[in-house]
Amino acid sequence: MTEPSATGKIAIAAPPEKVYSLVSDPGALAGMAEEYEGHRWVGAAGVAVGAKFRGRNRRGIRRWSTLSTITDADEGKRFAFEVTTFAGLPVARWQYDIEATGDGCVAVESTWDRRPGWLRGPTSLFTGVWRRDDANRANIAATLARLKAAAETRV
Say which residues have a Cβ less than 8 Å from residue 118's Cβ, sequence separation at least 6: none
Quote the pLDDT of residue 4.
97
Which whole-number Å values give the CA distances from 94 to 13, 101, 153, 155, in the listed order?
Answer: 23, 23, 25, 25
Mean pLDDT of 36-40: 92
Average pLDDT, the chain: 93
Q: What percent of the chain has pLDDT over 90?
A: 77
Mean pLDDT of 31-60: 91
Mean pLDDT of 77-105: 95
Cα–Cα distance measured from residue 38 to residue 25, given in angstroms and rounded to the nearest whole number: 11
Quote the pLDDT of residue 1.
64
Quote the pLDDT of residue 37.
92
Name, of 7-11, 120-124, 126-130, the range with top average pLDDT.
7-11
Cα–Cα distance measured from residue 45 to residue 155, given in angstroms and rounded to the nearest whole number: 26
pTM: 0.93
Check pLDDT > 90 for residue 5: yes
